[in-house]
Structures are given as C-alpha cells and as structure tokens.
Amino acid sequence: MTETVPRPTLEAVAARAGVSRATVSRVVNGADGVREPLVERVRRAVEELGYVPNQAARSLVTRRHGAVAVVIAEPETRVFADPFFALQLRGISKELTSHDNQLVLLLTEGRDDHARVARYLAGGHVDGALVFSLHLDDPLPGLIQGAGVPTVFGGRPGWSDGTRDAVYVDSDNRGGARDAVRLLAGLGRTRIGHLTGPLDQTSAADRLDGYREVMGDVDPRLVVESDFTPGGGERAMRELLDRCPDVDAVFAANDLTAAGALRVLRERGRRVPEDVAVVGFDDMLPVAEQTDPPLTTVRQDIEEMGRIMARLLLRRLDRHTTDAAITDPATDAVTTDDEPGGVILPTTLVRRTSA
Amino acid sequence: MTETVPRPTLEAVAARAGVSRATVSRVVNGADGVREPLVERVRRAVEELGYVPNQAARSLVTRRHGAVAVVIAEPETRVFADPFFALQLRGISKELTSHDNQLVLLLTEGRDDHARVARYLAGGHVDGALVFSLHLDDPLPGLIQGAGVPTVFGGRPGWSDGTRDAVYVDSDNRGGARDAVRLLAGLGRTRIGHLTGPLDQTSAADRLDGYREVMGDVDPRLVVESDFTPGGGERAMRELLDRCPDVDAVFAANDLTAAGALRVLRERGRRVPEDVAVVGFDDMLPVAEQTDPPLTTVRQDIEEMGRIMARLLLRRLDRHTTDAAITDPATDAVTTDDEPGGVILPTTLVRRTSA
DNA sequence: GTGAAAGCGCTAACAA
DNA sequence: TTGTTAGCGCTTTCAC
C-alpha cells in the first residue's frame, strides 16, 4: 500500500540521457563546462524521471549538509510567552532558505539536554549553529564551542571563560535604554525609576547599564529588579511606588513589564503619562499597541536580528569551504579567519502616548 | 586555525578495540549477539576516541534519517502574535528528541515557498512530516500528500479533495464551544453573541458550529465574523453592540478576540460579567489571566497536541519499517495500514471572573 | 558470535 | 569537454 517507489538515482538519469554519471552530476550542480546540448538532454532526463539528489550520499562525500542548527536554551517559559522567539526564527528561516539551507531546531529544556545537543553538534550533522543563550552561568555555549561547529550567538553571550572570541548579534540594548531615559529626562522628569529584567541575562544587564549611564549617581531605590513578565512588572511597580511615592517616570526593561506597571499605576490612581510617564522596550506590537495608554517604547527589529545572524553564519561557512579550496599562499594572508566580536543592531524610539 | 580534526570512523574504533567494523556497528546500534567482553572493549574504544556515528553514511544505507519536518504554513502573522505556535513546537520537540529524532523546521511564506517545501519533502530528507495548515483553500496539504511522505496534520484539515484519509490531531473545538455557550445559557443569559474567528480556518468554523448546535435557530445578528486578533475583537464587539444592544453574553472564538471585546465593553460602560458575560477560547495564560476581569475560557492543551502529533507520526514510521521487515503474511492482516482520521483532544472550561 | 565484503548514491580526481 | 574510477562511513548479508 504505502509501497515506496525507489527514487531514481544519478545512474538512472545518466542512462536515460546517454551520458555518464559525472556529467549528470555536473549539470545538476550547475558546474559549467558541459556543452549546451548535453545539458539540455540531462535536464530533460532529470525532469522526466523526477530525479532529486540524495542528500545523504552527497553529504557523505562533500561533508556539507546544507543545514544549520538553531539552539534555543529554554530554562524558563518566558520565551514562549512573547513572540520574540517566533520572530527571530522567522528571520533566520527566511535567510536560510533563500540560501538553500535547512533549519534544524534544537530546543533544550534544562541541563539534561545539553549533552544531547553537544553530541548532536559534535556529530557533524549540521554545518553550523545559531545559538540563543543569554544567561551568565549557561554552560551550553562552552560545550558548543567545544564541539567545533561554526557558531553565531544571538544576543551578547554572558559567560566569561575563554570564549571571548565569540561572534554574536545583539540589539543596542544600552543605547536604546539611554534613549528611553533621555526622553524621560527631556520631558522634565527627575525621579525616573527602572524596572529591570532578570539581571543574569545580558540584555537586562545592558539596559540597566544604559539607564545608569544617563542617570549618573542615582538613588538606588529607583531601581527594582524584575523578570520580563507582566506579573513581575506589577510586583516591581508596587515596590517602586512604595519605596518612592514621588516617582514621576518609569523605564521598564521590556514591554511586558511595562504592561504590568501600567496596570498597577492605574490601580493606584496615577495618571499616565501626566503623573508618571512610562517607556518600555521591544515594541512587541500585540503588547505595546494594546496597553492603556498605548506604550512609548524602544523598538528592536527582532526579525532582522535573526536574519543577520543567519547571514553571518552562512558567510563564515562559505569562507570555510573557500579556504579549504584555496591552498594558494598568496591569498592566505587575506582570508585570516572569522573576525570575532559582535554586530550591534540599532534601536529606535517609538512614541505613543505613555510618555 | 579552524582546522577540523577528522572525526574517528567505525574503522578507527574497530582497530582500537581489535575487532571488525561489523562488531563495532552492532555494539553501537545496540544489536544483541555480541559477547559481553567484546561489547565492553568496543564501548571503551568509542569512549576514548569520542566516536560519533556519521549520520549521512548511516542514512545512505538505512534510508532512515531520524528527522521529521515541521511545516508551518504562515500566510498571516497571527501565529506569531500568540504563543500558540511556540507551545506546539515545544511539545513536538520534546516527543521527537526523546525518540532521537531531529526537528527540521520549514516555515512557508506564501505560495512561492510551497514548491520548495514539496521538493524538500519529496527529496527524502526526512522520514515524515508534521504539517500545520488549516485554511480551506490551502494547496500545501495536497502537495505534501503527493510527495508521499508520511504526514500528520495539526488541526482538522480544511481542504476537500481526495485527501480525506489524512491523519490529524485537533482540539475538540466544537465541544469546547458547546461547553462555553452552555455555561452562558446556564447563567441565565439569553442573548448570547458569538465573535467568530476567520471562517476559512477549520478551528473557527468548528467553534461556530458548536455555538450553533447549542443555540439552535439563533438571531443571525448575534454572530459577527472576526479574525482572532484583539483589534478584530474590538471591531466585532462594537458591531455586535450596535446590532444588538440587548446582548447579555459573548462567546469569543479565542482569548485575543475576547480581550478586545472586554476593552470595548469597558469603554461602553458595560460591566463584565454583570451586564455582559464573556467567555474566550484557548486559555493563553498571558492573555486570559491578564485581562480585566480575568477571562473565563475554554482551555486546550496546545503542547500536548504537539506531543501527540509527533507520537502519532513516530508510530507510523515505526510501523513502516516494521512492515518492511516482516514479510510474514501471517502478521500482514494485523498491520493493515495507518488508520486515517483524527485524534480529537478534549477541552476544559476554566472559570475565572468574566463569566 | 564474529569477520569479510558488497554496496547505499554521490562527488571529485584523473584520464582520455 | 566528457568518462572512468575510487572512495565517503556505514550497515548488512553471508561465510566461517
């Protein structure tokens, strides 16, 4: 019933076109140096037989897979509570597929999975990896670098050991935070509070840094640690109001936190933005546009970030194969190696009504 | 610098353990029939060399890939606006990895991608596919069935041509809707409106059916078509209030729609649930718990749905390989073929305060 | 129970 | 320009 018809091989196509396997291979792979009439004959044979190359056989000899792993470390459910992750994936997917690469998704749920992921990566199933892990103590990045797979990180990696030479893409969290706080200050606000994200994540830490850079030597009570969730935002806002009833502005580390803060402000009878101005971070549309009042926030282009990560990785992969091909010492000086370091994407301030 | 150390092969392990490649292969694949002392020797050699099997070589001969494609048709951005998709993926990922299968993610952006996906699937890169596509006119499911890859669909497929024998997993949308409406009726409400989802999606259509089943011959003005978004919910709610000012209850096709409706009700000065009771669908925590008032809704277990889809597919795949092995006519009667049809997951009513 | 050997389908030297 | 040939690393009969 579900009898699988054996798929045609190169051999079959060659026979039908009356040429050798090598020629078919050349045509299929777009190598030049095959005369037009033959190309045509082969094309037709491929068409008629519905030939599709066997990727396993191909990988076996080329050592290329046309596949990239996306590793998402997922200790908390937060990532699933906002569309961040989905947007990122979409950007990655677009870039990857437009270069004929497949996306292998590796979701990790705690430490048990780390070994599995490391093994998979070390197993040479994919040509490279895109890794999201932004926690200070995460052992995963180290494991992955150990696996020897070309990798690009999403977000500034937070670990400190000998892996400084990581390539990563991140939003300008610090700069965005500065913009937010400067806006508030420009509005004449003087008691500007900050509801942070979880400070073991570099994005949260960087936003706090940006806040501090503008605020200078600020009353420490104005900074309340939170966790990027609406519930956390509520708690933190209450705490902030209790500590500093005179607060006249709030910079929340993300939109979800801001949404929670707005609810508490309303509940406590503070008008936004008249009594307290609020700025968020992310510009997650479903959140920022739907709050009451609509949220002024720092926009980061998540999808673009994904796209850039993929692009960077693909470029590294290309260079690798090229390096291997060119043993010419003359060019060797040029193709040093992958430059480590980060690509920082700009953020933009989106004004709505909350500030 | 980035000099890739050639990974050890079966050959190398065999040499080190002083056995043949065949024996190593047996040990690595857990085949029995190798004596304990040898097993031990091989294990040690594998360990010492850090041997990891080359999946490409293995696939070449076994014709199995240990990989499953997840295809997400993505004509609209809605999927990215709620965590639905992420939860589903998580369930799938868990089930897949616990059976040593990889997840290849295929995101499609409109028709152009369909050919690409079909080609990929037909190319025999993966053992099976999990497909999300719930639109009536979607050509993708047909293409995929044409590719001859074992497939399980997420959500009741809506297309009508000769592909009735599809295997799918869906929530009990109809039953959940009935429960919602019955709750409202049980509360003594008589003018119960329904804000639908986009009716070209089976989930929305099924929920409307459920509503109708309970309501019987209902005033058609009570049904307003919407689109599963908060903005759409607002528009639909306004329309409903304009058409039927006497409405005393609303069943919204999902939580996002309900959230929009709640905003409009508040804006129009209707108390919830006193004047108008509201029930949603999905129980997306970040939405349902955060609305004002918290939303009574129909809960579906999205992650479980993903898990079951994966489980179903893996079972089919297992059976296939088993079938191939067993040419015994005696057992042939038992292993007929994959039973088509759907697995319907129950929903549960979650009472909060909106109804 | 273990090993030898024959491919799986493809690419890439090398010859012609 | 085209064809011939030798593997890529693994599984799997088939002998022993």
Instruction: Tell me how far apart the alpha carbons of residues A351 and A277 are, in angstroms, rounded to a whole number.
Output: 12
Q: Which residues of A touch B327 (CB under 8 A)?
A: none
Residue A116 has pLDDT above 50, yes or no: yes
Instruction: Tell me how far apart the alpha carbons of residues A81 and A77 are, in angstroms, rounded to a whole number.
Output: 7
How many Å lie between the alpha carbon of B206 and the closest alpha carbon of chain A?
Answer: 26
B93:A113 CB<8 A: no
- Which of A342, A334, A319, A302 shows the shortest CA–CA distance to A128? A319
- Which of A170, A163, A137 shows the shortest CA–CA distance to A148? A163
Pick from B93, B113, B122: which is nearest to A105 by CB? B93
Distance D14 C1' – B245 CA (angstroms)? 84
pLDDT of residue A337: 44
Least confident of A109-123, B13-27, B57-71, B265-279: A109-123
Instruction: Tell me how far apart the alpha carbons of residues B49 and B28 are, in angstroms, rounded to a whole number.
Output: 13
Least confident of A188-202, B24-38, B318-332: B318-332
pLDDT digits (tens, 9 = 90+) for A167-189: 999 999 999 999 999 999 999 99
In this prediction, residues B232-237 reach a mean pLDDT of 97
**What is the interface size between A and B, counted as CB pairs within 8 Å?**
138
Q: What is the DSSP letter of B259?
A: H
H-helix or E-strand containing B85? helix B84-98
Residue B78 has pLDDT above 60, yes or no: no
Question: Which stretches of chain A are assigned E, i.e. beta strand?
Answer: 67-73, 102-108, 128-132, 151-154, 167-171, 192-195, 223-224, 249-252, 277-282, 296-299, 341-345, 348-350
Nearest chain B residue to A284 by CA: give it.
B81
Return the half-sphere exposure (C-beta side, CA atoms, 13 A cut-off) of residue A4. Answer: 18
Write down the mean pLDDT value for chain A: 87
Task: Report residue B151's pLDDT band, with 50, 70 and 90 as the boundaries.
Answer: very high
What is the model's pTM?
A: 0.88
Residue B168 has pLDDT above 80, yes or no: yes
Distance C10 C1' – A11 CA (angstroms)? 10
Between B78 and B8, residue with greater pLDDT? B8
- CA-based R_g, chain A, Å: 26
- Retrieve residue A213's tokens: 């850079």
Least confident of A117-121, A198-202, B90-94: A117-121
pLDDT of residue A330: 32
pLDDT of residue B103: 96
Residue whose token pair is 């099976």 = B128
Task: Report residue B328's pLDDT band, with 50, 70 and 90 as the boundaries.
Answer: very low
Residue A111 has pLDDT above 80, yes or no: no
Instruction: Tell me how far apart the alpha carbons of residues A12 and A7 are, in angstroms, rounded to a whole number.
Output: 10
Distance D16 C1' – B35 CA (angstroms)? 17
Write down the mean pLDDT value for chain B: 87
Pick from B59, B123, B320: which is nearest to A52 by CB? B123
Task: Report residue B86's pLDDT band, with 50, 70 and 90 as the boundaries.
Answer: confident
**Closest CA-bearing residue to C1' of C9:** A57
- Retrieve residue B95's tokens: 């089930």
pLDDT of residue B311: 96
**Cα B95 to chain centroid, rounded:** 12
pLDDT of residue B187: 97
Highest-scoring range by mean pLDDT, A141-155, A240-254, A288-302:
A240-254
pLDDT of residue B84: 78
In this prediction, residues B293-300 reach a mean pLDDT of 96
Q: What percent of chain B is modeled with pLDDT above 70?
A: 88
Task: Report residue B163's pLDDT band, with 50, 70 and 90 as the boundaries.
Answer: low
Q: Are B106 and B69 in contact (CB under 8 A)?
A: yes
Q: What percent of chain A is modeled with pLDDT above 70?
A: 88
pLDDT digits (tens, 9 = 90+) for B51-73: 999 999 999 999 999 999 999 88
Instruction: Tell me how far apart the alpha carbons of residues A107 and A101 are, in angstroms, rounded to a whole number.
Output: 19
**Cα A116 to chain centroid, rounded:** 21
pLDDT digits (tens, 9 = 90+) for A33-92: 889 999 999 999 999 999 999 999 999 999 999 999 999 886 555 555 667 788 889 999
- Which of A176, A170, A171 shows the shortest CA–CA distance to A194? A176
Nearest chain A residue to B57 by CA: give it.
A60
pLDDT of residue B141: 81
**B115 and chain A in contact, CB less than 8 A:** no
Instruction: Tell me how far apart the alpha carbons of residues A218 and B159 are, in angstroms, rounded to a whole number.
Output: 62
Task: Report residue B220's pLDDT band, with 50, 70 and 90 as the boundaries.
Answer: very high
B56:A60 CB<8 A: yes
**B146 and chain A in contact, CB less than 8 A:** no
- Retrieve residue A52's tokens: 């599709």
